[in-house]
């Protein structure tokens, strides 16, 4: 509200509040008090004069001023209202308000006085700045609703005519909903006032369908006049207008069947008289928003694309259900790859890719309209069906006569939007002809045909480019492009030349236009056989004289298809010389040989091939053969499938070369085949399917000179050499005591299968029964090999053999293809008697001579020998100085030191000799069997060996105290100690035994050792438990031979390994490994195995 | 029955006797007109076949309608589908119906249902669905023909449709998509109920029309095997 300063507010009264505020708090409080007092005083004063003058305006032209009457004034009091301006106008009136024309800017003094009492006058200063501009309350002329689109339309009048000046107006519209009048929307709407009454429209689309709740609309305005310096205020709100929907008895859901954009938000509501229990969109339940009454709404955010039949929104009501279907999709995509072409220049086909699926089908599917800009023609496309596989759409449009340029625009439209695509085409450049049909071929001659076909379309104004594909069997495919003038009647024909006669061709055709756009599809294939022509060449001819030389045999080869030009029916052969002519006619086709009896004259033979059209040019050959120099037969070996023949260039040979060949083993005339080679070549690779490896062929090279042929070279050869199939047949021609003469025969050519390169001869000593010759190639040293590379050699003498010895002889032939089979023979050399005699006589003679010489020498030197070897020895008994006590000497039997008694020797010679007796006699071990035969043979260098051992006699009766050992264990005892101990003895027992017996071997023989009887007895129990009884006490051995391998220092295995002479043990001691390595414990393993296996046996 | 080797002659004689008497058996003697029995049986079989076919079609179609129509516990009240012939009937009422009335009701119901079904076919959006519906329509047309055949055999006249009451498919804006879906749902449901009812009807009729074929058996028994 705008305050108007009272006229009584004298300047002295005015207190500058600001200044007051700047003073101290106390001063401020004091001032406030004073002010309040003064105000009260004024109030009491003004009650007596008009006060509170207020002025407003609603149109800027008139000001409404009103004031309050003094307290004493009655109802009918007259007032004088004077404006102190130039005219000084005064108004007399009986009310307290007045409408005055708008005053000019600036202060104006207003005097209001009561006419009854002249004293009570009030003066006011009025300025435009103190005036409030409050527009009139607007009024809604019309409020309507479009329920289908949930749109509210508001219509009102701006009453602009009352405002003198151009002003901006701000309208504020509020929308309230539900009976509780909740504010939904408050919007401002700007307009301008143009001095006329204008009706304004404003529309608003509600999120909530309008059917669901009552909607109220109110409006107010604010005039924003820039020239008005006073206070501007909003008008009052207009009276509210509302929109509501009259519900049916049936519940209903809104909006119905709406199409919306995917991802948008939408509110559904259900108008129902009954309570709604739940709501769901698709299969998703949504929270309910309660509206007036039982009406509810749900909000769906970011809706996803619908299925074909739409997305169902269902509200469940007690005993009822209601719902709607919403279709969420996309606006049509811009049609892509729009392309227009024609097949026949009659109809245009435009096709396009619709792009992204809209998700809308049926009546909501995208509809297309193809519009042609120049002619204004259009066609529509509406696809109702949903078929996923049809990704391209197309439309047909009839061509406009004489129009070549077309400007097509394709409009796409669906409920959510529209799009378009444009293309400008020259249709004559976009011809994609139909597939040519009815392809026909007609002969012109044997090398040309006419192709005709049907190609629908009115191509009268353009040229067609067609491609003819010509296929010949076993030949490269050929393509020919032809340009033909287009026609209106669709029939085309063209000549195709340069064909071969009597050949099967397959034709097919495709067409395009000269301004190429696309080839049509290929037409169906058409096969055609061209007609025959006369054979282009005569057959390749050769001749041979028969073996008796009377007949000439003429050979010719069938013509190749390319030269025959048809089916060869027959041949004519004629031989003409200066004198006569012989001819053979009508030799039917499969025969390619003719024989004519001729005198040895020089004939020219001509052969002509005939087909249904005619005869070929004759091919001629002279019967005469030019004599040749001696031609050596050479050898050649082929490579792979053929054989390469080379020769030097011969300038005399003016025509061509002929190589003929045959199997060497065939009889004359020898001819398998021949081949002509141009005269300038010097080599030819002869290949034939008839060639077989290992077969010898003869090749003859003829040179042609003056139509006569001369043999230049003769070659034998193989395509590939193989090893001979048979061995050479050989015999022994002669045998002596130290040599054998062997002779062999040639191998037949058929069985040789290659050029013979030599023979291999093996020999060795051997009887027929032995089969030592098996490994001939293994390089055995006793086999002697002779490689005979001179193939003309047919005999071989083997010398330096032993007499009366059987020899094994083997002979095999070889070629470059390999070694042939071998043939063997046994031969015994003759006895050499002279040698034997000499061998006996010479040693005998030598022995006799040596004996005689020795005897003579001995006789001559007998005195020296006697003194040297047998001197006279004095008898010691005769020497008294050497008196030995006999008992002592006898008792020991060993050497005794000479006692140095005073004895005067008289030519005494003392000889000291080694005792040959073993020391055994020093020991007190006396074996019942002093020597055992085995030991004597295996006598060890040390004499003390005697100690050990004696063969077991019979020890089987030794009880088996363990009882738990296998039956064979008792035998083991005698066998091999090493073997036995390890597997048989229990480990614990062995441990116990080791310190006692030192393990090792214990002979089975019980030795009566007196000195250790007690020890043995003490050990008896132990032995019994071990199941083994040692035959001797180790201590005794120790005593006997402290440095023997059986000493206690040695480990048990070494000790036990002593070679027993037990017969039973032999078999286990035989293995050389054990002999070589006494430490090996392998015997134990094998033993265990043996025993373990025994039950199984 | 214990047959011994000695009985073979007796069996042969008996067989000859039976063959001799066969022309006299009335049930086998009907060579020209087999009566309504086979056609009722055929109609019954066709009903069962259609039931089977409908199961598959309904599955596809309800999936096409989308949730909640394809949810097994969705059981909405019958809205708007008032023109559909109702198959549900009080048991007492059903029992009191005579054969003619029964067949007439069946015939009328399927005539209507077929008409609606064809409408359904016209508005289906996918080709495969249309194909399934067309196939089913053909089968239903066959059933209608079968029922007409049975009625003709039994000498009942076919119900004449009253002029102007021919059920027509009226797709229009008045019918919202949702109500249309509800109608489709109810159409399938009624169709299923009608097929159940028809199977029951034809089974009853079949039993009733069964010829006294037991005579042959009894005849053989009498010869004292």
| pLDDT tens string A735-770 | 888 888 888 888 888 888 888 889 888 888 877 765
Q: Are the CB atoms for A38 and A32 separated by under 8 Å?
A: no
Residue ranges of E strands in A158-196: 167-177, 182-193
Query: Residue A484: is it exposed, middle or buried by C-beta count within 10 angstroms (0-12/13-18/19+)?
Result: middle
Contact check, Cβ <8 Å, B125/A386: yes
Beta bridge pairs of residue A784: A763
Phi, psi of A872, rounded to the nearest 5 degrees:
-80, 130
Q: What pLDDT is attached to residue A1052? A: 39
Q: Measured between beta carbons, which residues in chain B are less than 8 angstroms from residue A312?
A: 65-69, 178, 181
What distance in Å separates the CA atoms of residue B150 and residue B98, rounded to the nearest whole number?
14
pLDDT above 90: residue A257? no
Q: What pLDDT is attached to residue A3? A: 39
Nearest CA-CA partner of A568 in A545, A538, A598: A538
What distance in Å separates the CA atoms of residue A810 and residue A48, rounded to the nearest whole number?
172
Contact check, Cβ <8 Å, A309/B79: no
The tens digit of pLDDT for each residue in A373-428 reads 998 889 888 665 555 456 678 888 888 888 889 999 999 999 999 999 999 999 99
Of B68, B125, B177, the CB nearest to A314: B68
The tens digit of pLDDT for each residue in A385-394 reads 555 456 678 8
What is the model's pTM? 0.56
Q: Measured between beta carbons, which residues in chain B are less than 8 angstroms from residue A280?
A: 67-68
Contact check, Cβ <8 Å, A312/B76: no
Would you place residue A467 in the very low, low, confident or very high pLDDT band (cuts 50, 70, 90)? Answer: very high
Q: What is the mean pLDDT of residues A867-877?
A: 78
pLDDT above 80: residue A169? yes
Q: How far apart, in Å, are the Cα atoms of A285 and each of A281, A313, A324, A1026?
A: 6, 10, 15, 94
Q: Are the CB atoms for B118 and B166 separated by under 8 Å?
A: no
The tens digit of pLDDT for each residue in A447-464 reads 999 999 999 998 988 999
Q: What pLDDT is attached to residue A679? A: 83
Residue ranges of E strands in A579-707: 581-588, 593-597, 604-611, 619-622, 625-626, 633-637, 642-646, 657-663, 673-677, 683-687, 696-705
Per-residue model confidence as pLDDT tens for chain B (225 residues): 444 444 556 556 655 555 555 544 444 444 455 567 777 888 888 888 888 889 888 888 898 888 888 888 888 877 665 677 777 777 777 777 788 888 888 888 888 888 888 887 777 777 888 888 888 899 888 888 888 888 888 888 888 765 555 555 554 445 788 888 888 888 888 888 888 888 888 888 888 877 655 444 444 443 433
Coil vs helix vs strand at A371:
strand
Contact check, Cβ <8 Å, A385/B126: yes
In total, the C-beta contacts within 8 angstroms joining chain A to chain B are: 69
Would you place residue A837 in the very low, low, confident or very high pLDDT band (cuts 50, 70, 90)? Answer: confident
Q: How far apart, in Å, are the Cα atoms of A193 and each of A59, A61, A159, A983?
A: 11, 15, 8, 130
Residues of B engaging A, defined by a Cβ cutoff of 8 Å: 64-69, 71, 76-77, 79, 123, 125-127, 176-178, 181-182
The tens digit of pLDDT for each residue in A84-106 reads 777 778 888 888 888 888 888 88
Q: What pLDDT is attached to residue A496? A: 93
Would you place residue A521 in the very low, low, confident or very high pLDDT band (cuts 50, 70, 90)? Answer: very high
Nearest CA-CA partner of B180 in B170, B193, B167: B170
Instruction: Calculate the average pLDDT of chain A.
Output: 76
pLDDT above 50: residue A372? yes
pLDDT above 70: residue A913? no
Would you place residue A35 in the very low, low, confident or very high pLDDT band (cuts 50, 70, 90)? Answer: low
Residues of A engaging B, defined by a Cβ cutoff of 8 Å: 253, 256-257, 280, 282-283, 307-314, 319-325, 361-362, 384-387
């Amino acid at each position: 509200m705008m305050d108007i300063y009272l006229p009584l507010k004298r300047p002295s009264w005015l207190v500058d509040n600001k200044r007051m505020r700047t003073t101290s708090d106390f001063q401020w409080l004091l001032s406030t008090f004073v002010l309040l007092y003064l105000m009260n005083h004024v109030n009491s004063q003004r009650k007596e004069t008009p006060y509170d003058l207020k002025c407003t305006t609603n149109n800027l032209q008139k000001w409404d001023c009103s004031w309050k009457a003094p307290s004493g004034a009655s109802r009918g009091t007259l007032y004088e209202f004077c404006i102190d301006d130039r005219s000084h106008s005064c108004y007399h009136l009986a009310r307290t308000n007045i409408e005055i024309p708008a005053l000019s800017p600036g202060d104006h003094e207003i005097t209001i006085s009561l006419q009854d009492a002249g004293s009570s006058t009030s003066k006011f200063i009025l300025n435009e700045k103190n005036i409030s501009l409050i527009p009139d309350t607007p009024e809604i002329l019309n409020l309507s609703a479009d329920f289908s689109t949930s749109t509210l339309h508001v219509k009102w009048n701006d009453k602009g005519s009352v405002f003198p000046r151009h002003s901006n107006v701000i309208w504020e519209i509020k929308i309230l909903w539900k009976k509780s009048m909740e504010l939904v929307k408050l919007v401002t709407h700007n307009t301008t006032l143009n001095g006329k009454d204008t009706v304004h429209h404003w529309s608003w689309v509600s999120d909530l369908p309008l059917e669901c709740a009552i909607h109220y609309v109110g409006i107010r305005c604010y005039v924003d006049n820039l020239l008005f310096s006073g206070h501007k205020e909003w008008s009052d709100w207009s009276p509210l207008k509302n929109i509501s929907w009259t519900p049916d008895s049936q519940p209903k859901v809104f909006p119905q069947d709406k199409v919306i954009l995917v991802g948008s938000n939408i509110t559904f509501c259900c108008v129902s008289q009954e309570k709604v229990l739940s709501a769901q969109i698709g299969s998703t339940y949504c929270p309910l928003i309660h509206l007036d009454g039982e009406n509810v709404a749900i909000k769906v955010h970011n809706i996803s694309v619908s299925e074909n039949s739409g997305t169902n929104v269902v509200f469940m009501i007690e005993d009822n259900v209601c719902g709607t279907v919403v279709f969420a999709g996309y606006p049509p995509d811009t049609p892509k790859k729009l392309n227009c072409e024609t097949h026949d220049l009659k109809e245009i086909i435009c096709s396009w890719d619709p792009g992204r699926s809209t998700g809308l089908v049926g009546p909501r599917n995208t509809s297309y309209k193809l519009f042609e800009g120049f002619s204004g023609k259009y066609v529509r496309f509406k696809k109702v069906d949903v078929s996923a596989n049809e990704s391209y759409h197309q439309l047909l449009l009839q061509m406009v006569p004489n129009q070549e340029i077309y400007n097509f625009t394709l409009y796409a439209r669906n409920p959510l939007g529209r799009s378009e695509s444009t293309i400008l085409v020259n249709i004559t450049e976009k011809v994609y002809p139909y597939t040519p049909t009815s392809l026909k071929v007609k002969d012109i001659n044997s090398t040309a045909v006419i192709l005709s076909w049907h190609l629908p379309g009115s191509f009268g104004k353009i040229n067609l480019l067609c491609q003819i594909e010509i296929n010949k069997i076993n030949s490269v495919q050929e393509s020919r492009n032809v340009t033909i003038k287009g026609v209106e009647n669709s029939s085309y024909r063209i000549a195709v030349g340069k064909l071969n006669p009597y050949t099967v061709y397959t034709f097919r055709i495709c067409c395009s236009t000269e301004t190429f756009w696309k080839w049509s599809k290929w037409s169906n294939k058409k096969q055609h056989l061209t007609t025959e022509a006369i054979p282009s060449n005569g057959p390749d001819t050769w001749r041979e004289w028969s073996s008796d030389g009377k007949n000439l045999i003429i050979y010719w080869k069938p013509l190749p298809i390319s030269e025959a030009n048809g089916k060869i029916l027959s041949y004519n052969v004629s031989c003409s010389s200066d004198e006569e002519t012989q001819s053979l006619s009508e030799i039917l086709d499969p025969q390619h040989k003719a024989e004519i009896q001729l005198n040895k004259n020089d004939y020219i033979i001509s052969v002509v091939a005939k087909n249904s059209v005619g005869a070929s040019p004759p091919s001629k050959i002279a019967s005469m053969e030019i004599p040749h120099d001696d031609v050596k037969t050479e050898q050649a070996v082929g490579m792979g499938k053929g054989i390469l023949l080379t020769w030097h260039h011969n300038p005399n040979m003016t025509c061509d070369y002929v190589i003929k060949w045959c199997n060497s083993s065939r009889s004359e005339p020898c001819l398998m085949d021949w081949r002509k080679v141009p005269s300038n070549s010097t080599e030819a690779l002869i290949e034939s399917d008839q060639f077989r490896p290992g077969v010898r062929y003869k090749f003859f090279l003829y040179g042609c000179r003056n139509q006569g042929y001369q043999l230049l070279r003769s070659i034998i050869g193989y395509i590939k050499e193989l090893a001979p199939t048979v061995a050479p047949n050989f015999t022994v021609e002669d045998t002596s005591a130290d040599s054998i003469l062997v002779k062999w025969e040639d191998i037949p050519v058929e069985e040789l299968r290659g050029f013979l390169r030599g023979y291999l001869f093996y020999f060795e000593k051997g009887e027929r029964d032995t089969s030592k010759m098996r490994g001939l190639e293994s390089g055995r040293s006793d086999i002697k090999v002779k490689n005979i590379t001179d193939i003309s050699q047919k005999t071989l003498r083997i010398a330096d053999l032993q007499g009366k010895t059987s020899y094994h002889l083997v002979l095999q032939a070889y070629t470059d293809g390999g070694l042939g089979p071998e043939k063997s023979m046994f031969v015994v050399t003759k006895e050499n008697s002279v040698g034997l005699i000499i061998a006996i006589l010479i040693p005998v003679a030598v022995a006799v001579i040596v004996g005689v010489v020795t005897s003579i020498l001995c006789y001559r030197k007998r005195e020296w020998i006697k003194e040297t070897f047998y001197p006279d020895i004095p008898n010691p008994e005769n020497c008294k100085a050497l008196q030995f006590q006999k008992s002592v000497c006898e008792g020991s039997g060993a050497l005794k030191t000479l006692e140095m008694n005073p004895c005067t020797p008289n030519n005494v010679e003392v000889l000291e000799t080694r005792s040959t007796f073993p020391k055994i006699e020093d020991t007190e071990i006396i074996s019942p069997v002093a020597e055992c035969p085995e030991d004597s043979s295996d006598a060890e260098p040390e004499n003390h060996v005697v100690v050990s051992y004696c063969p077991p006699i019979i020890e089987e009766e030794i009880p088996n105290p363990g009882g738990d050992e296998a039956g064979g264990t008792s035998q083991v005892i005698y066998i091999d100690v090493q073997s036995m101990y390890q597997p048989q003895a229990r480990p614990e027992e062995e441990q116990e035994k080791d310190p006692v017996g030192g393990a090792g071997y214990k002979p089975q023989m019980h030795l009566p050792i007196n000195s250790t009887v007690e020890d043995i007895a003490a050990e008896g129990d132990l032995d019994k438990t071990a199941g083994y009884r040692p035959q001797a006490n180790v201590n005794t051995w120790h005593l006997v031979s402290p440095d023997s391998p059986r000493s206690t220092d040695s480990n048990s295995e070494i000790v036990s390994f002593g070679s027993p002479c037990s017969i039973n043990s032999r078999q286990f001691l035989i293995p050389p490994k054990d002999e070589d390595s006494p430490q090996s414990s392998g015997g134990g393993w094998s033993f265990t195995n043996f025993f373990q296996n025994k039950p199984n046996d | 029955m214990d047959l011994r080797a000695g009985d073979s002659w007796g069996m042969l004689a008996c067989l000859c006797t039976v063959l001799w008497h066969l022309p006299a058996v009335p049930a086998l003697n009907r060579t020209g007109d087999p009566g309504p029995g086979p056609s009722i049986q055929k109609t019954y079989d066709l009903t069962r076949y259609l039931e089977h076919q409908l199961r598959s079609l309904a599955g596809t179609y309800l999936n096409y309608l989308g949730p909640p129509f394809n949810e097994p516990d969705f059981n909405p009240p019958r809205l708007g589908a008032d023109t559909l012939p109702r198959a549900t009937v009080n048991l007492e009422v059903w029992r009191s119906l005579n054969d003619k009335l029964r067949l007439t009701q069946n015939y009328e119901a399927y005539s209507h249902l077929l008409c609606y079904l064809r409408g359904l076919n016209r508005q289906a959006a996918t080709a495969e669905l249309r194909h399934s519906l067309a196939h089913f329509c053909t089968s239903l047309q066959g059933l209608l023909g079968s029922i007409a055949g049975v009625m003709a055999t039994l000498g009942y006249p076919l119900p004449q449709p009253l002029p102007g009451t021919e059920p027509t498919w009226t797709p229009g804006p008045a019918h919202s998509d949702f109500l249309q879906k509800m109608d489709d749902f109810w159409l399938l449901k009624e169709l299923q109920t009608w097929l159940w009812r028809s199977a029951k009807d034809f089974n009853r009729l079949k039993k009733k029309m069964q010829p006294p074929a037991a005579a042959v058996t009894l005849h053989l028994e009498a010869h004292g095997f």
